Amino acid sequence: MAVSAAPSGEAPAGRLAGRWVPWLVIGLWVALAAVMVPLSGKLSSVTTDRAVDTLPASAESTKVAVLEDSLSGGEGNTFVFVYHRAGGLTDADRATVERHYDILAKRYPPKVTTPAGGEDDEGPPTRLSADGKAMMFTLEVSTSYGGPETIVGPLREAAKDRPAGLELDVTGPAAVDGDMDAVFDGIDVQVLLTTIVVVTVLLILTYRSPVLWLIPLVAVGAAALTAMATVYLLVKGFGIVVNDQNSALLTILVFGVGTDYALLLIARYRETLHHHENVRVAMVHALRGAAPAIVASAATVIAGLLCLLVADLNSTSGLGPVGAAGILCALVAMLTLFPAVLVVLGRRIFWPAIPRFSTTVEEKPGLWGRLGAAISRRRWVATLGSLGILGVLAIGLAGNTGALREQDQFLDAPESVTGFTVLRQHFPELGGQPMTIFTRPAYQERVLDIVKRTPGVAEAIPGQTSGGWADISVFPTDAPDTAAEYDTIKRVRTAVHAVNGAEAIVGGPSAENLDTEATTSRDEKLVIPLVLAVVLIVLGLLLRAIVAPLVLMATVIVSFAAAFGGSVFVFDTILGFKGIDYSVPLLAFLFLVALGVDYNIFLTSRAREETARLGTKEGMLKALSATGGVITSAGLVLAATFAVLATLPLVMLIEVGFLVAFGVLLDALLVRSVLVPALTLLIGRRIWWPSRLSRPVEPPDGQQSLVDDEEPALQR
C-alpha cells in the first residue's frame, strides 16, 4: 500500500522549528547541568534507613526511639557477642570473653548495660550457657560513637584476639542494621552502572546503529542526574524521607521510563522523516503525534506516585515526590533535549538504515499486522486464551505470601544473622530481639512485675532512670520477627497500657518491624483504591470515554494478579525465599498499574487517532501494526532495567525487580499485544462510549457504512 507524503503544513511547522531553537535548548540544558550535576552527588548524604525516620511519629516504637535519643547518652545501638566452641568452653575461653567485655566497656562508655542475667544492674555482665558451650554479653553503644555501620566493623576487629577454635558471632539489632547498611553501601553507583550497561546493550540491539543508541542514553543520563539533584533539593527544602531503596528505584524509573519515551519518539520521527524533507519539520510532526501519549503516560505515573503522599509510612510517602520528580525530569528531557540533539545531528544519526524522504512510502503489514489479522479472525479465542494464561499464573497467589523476616532479607546470611541462630541454639530462653519499655519511675516495679508474668517473655530487667523515665529491657522467648514474637509484643503492650499513670510504651527493633508491617497494611488499603481512581480519571480524560478506561483498568488489574501469582511461585518454589517483604505488594502494584497502563495508553491513543478516519476495527489493527514493535522494545527495556534490582544481594530488591520485570513483560507481550486488541474488536465502537466515536457513521448517498462490520462484533 503506497501512502503519499504530505508536505502540507511545512511552512508553519518550519517557522516553529527554527534553526536556532535546537541549539538554544541544548544550551539551556548545558547550563542546567552545570548547576545540577554537583548537587546530584549529594543525594547519598541525605538518605536514611533508620526505622525512626521511616515510621510515622504516631507509632509507639517511634516514640520509644525518640525518647531514647533525647535521654542522657542518646539512643543505643545494641550488639550481642556470642562466643562458642563445639567441644565446650575452656577456662582460657571464659577469661577471653571477660577480657573482651572489659576492653569494650571501657572503649564505649557509658551505654554498657547488663544483659540477660542477674537482677538490676549488679548482675554479671557475661552469661554462660547451660550446655557450657557458649558465653554471651550485650553491649549497648551510644549513637554518639556513630551508626551501626561504622561501629560493627571495629567491634568485630577488637574481638579477633582469642584462642584458636573459639568462634564469635557479633549479632543483635545493631549488627543486623550494620550488615544491612553494608549491602546498600555503593548500591547507587552499582545500580547506575548496571542500568547504563543494560540499556546500552538493548538500544544497540534495537537500532543496530553504531551511533543512534548513544543519543537516548545521553538524554536519559542528563535526566537522571537532574532528578537526583531535584530530589536532594526536595529533601533539604521539605524534609521528605529518602532511603537507599527509594534512591535505587529513582535511577531505575528514570532510565526505564526515559528510554521508553525515546523509543516511542524515535519511531514517530522515523515515520515523519519519510514524509518531510526538512528534519526540523519532521521532528515537529513527530512531537505532535507522540507527545500527547508520552505526556499522558507521564501524567498517569506521576499521579499514581503522588498518591503515595497519603501513606503513613515515611519511606512510602517519600517515594511519591521522589518518583514523580524522576518521571517529570525524564519527560522534560525526552521532549526537549533529546529531540534537539536528534535534529542537530540530522538523518545521518540513523546510519546505516537512514530513512529517506519520498513522495510515496510503501507500508508493509509486518509481524504485528499479521498478528492483528489473526486476532481479528479469532477474537474469542484470543480473549479467552489470554485470560486463561493469566488465570493460571494467578493461581500462584495460593503460595507462601507470608511476611519476610528481617533476618531472611539477605541472600547470603551475614554474621549477624547466623549469630541469632547460634544464640537460640545455646540460649533458647533468649530467642528474640530485646524490647525496650519506657515507664514513669514510680511505676517501674509494677510494670516490671506485669511484664515478667506475660506469656512469651523470657526475662525482664530494670534499667537506668533518666529524664523522668525508667527503662526496662525485655527478652522474648521466640525467634525475631516471627508471628509468635509479634504476639508477645502485642501482649506486653496490652499489659503495660493497662497500668494507669505509668504512660508505658514498648519499642525495640522487632516492635519497629511490627509497626512498619501494620502501617504498610493500612497504607495499602488507602493507596491502592486511590491509585486506581486517579489512573482511571487520567485515562478517561485522555480517551474521552468511559468504557475504554474501565476495560484497560480491568486488564491491568488481572495482569497484576497474574504477575504476582507467577512471581510468588518462583520465589517460593524455585528460589526458596521465606516470604514476601511487606513493601513489595504496594510497590509492585503501583509500578505495574501505572507503568502497565503506559503501554495501553501508547496503543489506545494511537487507536483513537486512527479510528477517527478508519473505524474502530481498522483503527485498532493499524495502531497495533504501527506501535507493536516500539512498545515491545519499550517493554523489554523497562523490564530489563527493573531486572537490574534482581542482581542485588537483598531479597526485597530481588522480589521487586523480578515481579515488576515479569509483570511488564506480561503486560507488553500478552495483555497489550493480544488481550486489549481482542477485547476492542469484540466490543466494537462501543469501546469509545460516550464519545462521538461510539456513534454509527451515516454513510453518504445510501452507501453501506464503513464501520458496519463492527456492529455484530459481540455476536462473533
Q: Kindly state whether residues 304 and 263 are assigned to the same domain.
A: yes
User: Of 320, 342, 362, which one is at a domain's C-terminal end?
Assistant: 362
Q: Kindly state whether residues 121 and 155 are assigned to the same domain.
A: yes
Give 580's strand partners: 403
Q: Kindly state whether residues 201 and 349 are assigned to the same domain.
A: yes
pLDDT surpasses 90 at 97: yes
520-534 b/e with 16+ CB inside 10 Å = b? Answer: beebbeebbebbbeb
Query: If you average pLDDT over every residue of the chain, what do you get?
Result: 83
pLDDT digits (tens, 9 = 90+) for 160-205: 888 999 999 998 888 888 888 787 776 777 777 888 888 888 778 8
Q: Kindly state whether residues 124 and 177 are assigned to the same domain.
A: yes
Highest mean pLDDT among 463-467, 496-500, 581-585 belongs to 496-500
| pLDDT recorded at residue 7 | 46
Q: Kindly state whether residues 285 and 320 are assigned to the same domain.
A: yes
Q: Are 127 and 120 in contact (CB under 8 A)?
A: no
Query: How far is the C-alpha of 377 from the C-alpha of 46, rounded, in Å?
Result: 57
CA 716 to chain centre: 42
pLDDT digits (tens, 9 = 90+) for 600-633: 888 888 888 888 878 888 888 888 888 888 888 8
Q: What is the CATH number of the domain that holds 299?
A: 1.20.1640.10
37 inside domain? yes
CA-based torsion, 643, 649, 651, 653: positive or negative: negative
Extract the C-alpha cell encoding 659: 515481579
Structural domain including 461 reads 435-507
> Where residue 351 falls among pLDDT bands split at 50, 70, 90?
confident
- Number of domains into which the chain is organized: 4
Q: Three-state DSSP class for 49?
A: coil
244 inside domain? yes
CB atoms within 10 A of CB 577: 21
Q: Kindly state whether residues 573 and 460 are assigned to the same domain.
A: no
Q: Kindly state whether residues 466 and 576 are assigned to the same domain.
A: no
| pLDDT recorded at residue 700 | 47
Angle at 181 between CA 464 and CA 241, to 5 degrees: 85
428 inside domain? no
| pLDDT recorded at residue 193 | 82
| pLDDT recorded at residue 90 | 93
| pLDDT recorded at residue 496 | 94
Q: Kindly state whether residues 567 and 711 are assigned to the same domain.
A: yes
Highest mean pLDDT among 184-188, 321-325, 709-713 belongs to 321-325
167 inside domain? yes
DSSP 203-216: HHHHH--TTTTHHH
Q: Kindly state whether residues 499 and 520 are assigned to the same domain.
A: no
133 inside domain? yes
pLDDT surpasses 70 at 16: no
pLDDT digits (tens, 9 = 90+) for 384-400: 999 999 999 999 888 88
283 inside domain? yes
User: Of 183, 206, 236, which one is at a domain's C-terminal end?
Assistant: 183
pLDDT surpasses 60 at 561: yes
CB atoms within 10 A of CB 547: 16
67 inside domain? no
Q: What is the dihedral of CA 674, 586, 482, 475, to 10 degrees?
A: 170
Q: Kindly state whether residues 33 and 144 are assigned to the same domain.
A: no
pLDDT surpasses 70 at 263: yes
Q: Are 183 and 410 in contact (CB under 8 A)?
A: yes
> Where residue 407 falls among pLDDT bands split at 50, 70, 90?
confident
Q: Are 247 and 256 in contact (CB under 8 A)?
A: no
The pTM assigned to this predicted structure is 0.80
Query: How far is the C-alpha of 623 from the C-alpha of 62, rounded, in Å?
Result: 53
Q: Kindly state whether residues 271 and 407 are assigned to the same domain.
A: no
670 inside domain? yes
Least confident of 11-20, 73-82, 292-301, 682-691: 11-20
| pLDDT recorded at residue 361 | 52
Q: Kindly state whether residues 194 and 289 are assigned to the same domain.
A: yes
